[in-house]
Amino acid sequence: MLASTVSDKGQVVIPAAYRKMLGIKPGTELDFELEGSGLRVSLRHEVQRTAIDEGFGMLTAKAKEGRRLADFDVANAMKAQR
């Protein structure tokens, strides 16, 4: 566990190791939530809404006999795009 001190203005420096691990950069938004006698800080991830039509054609499988459900796995399709 790494520690930080609160400034006179109420500001806290997030240790560099945590910023790097979580991808926190200037402008990143954080959520604060009271949890018992503590404070939970989490990254705000906003997901933009999409229309169902935007997913058409995302998943494809090679034409072959006996297709399997695994041929349409979303995680594998996303890995293949990288």
Q: Residue 63 falls within a domain, yes or no?
A: yes
Q: What is the pLDDT of residue 55?
A: 79
Q: Residue 76 falls within a domain, yes or no?
A: yes
Q: Residue 77 falls within a domain, yes or no?
A: yes
Q: What is the pLDDT of residue 47?
A: 67
Higher pLDDT, 79 or 39: 39
Q: Residue 25 falls within a domain, yes or no?
A: no
Q: Look at the chain and report how many structural domains it folds into.
A: 1
Q: Residue 50 falls within a domain, yes or no?
A: no
Positive or negative, the CA dihedral 36, 39, 42, 44 is positive
2-16, 21-35, 42-56: least confident range:
42-56
Number of residues in the chain:
82
Only one residue has tokens 């991808």, namely 23
Q: Residue 27 falls within a domain, yes or no?
A: no
pLDDT range class, residue 10, cuts 50, 70, 90:
very high
What is the C-alpha separation between 12 and 4, in angstroms, rounded? Answer: 6
What is the C-alpha separation between 65 and 48, in angstroms, rounded? Answer: 37
**Domain, as residue range, for 63:** 57-81
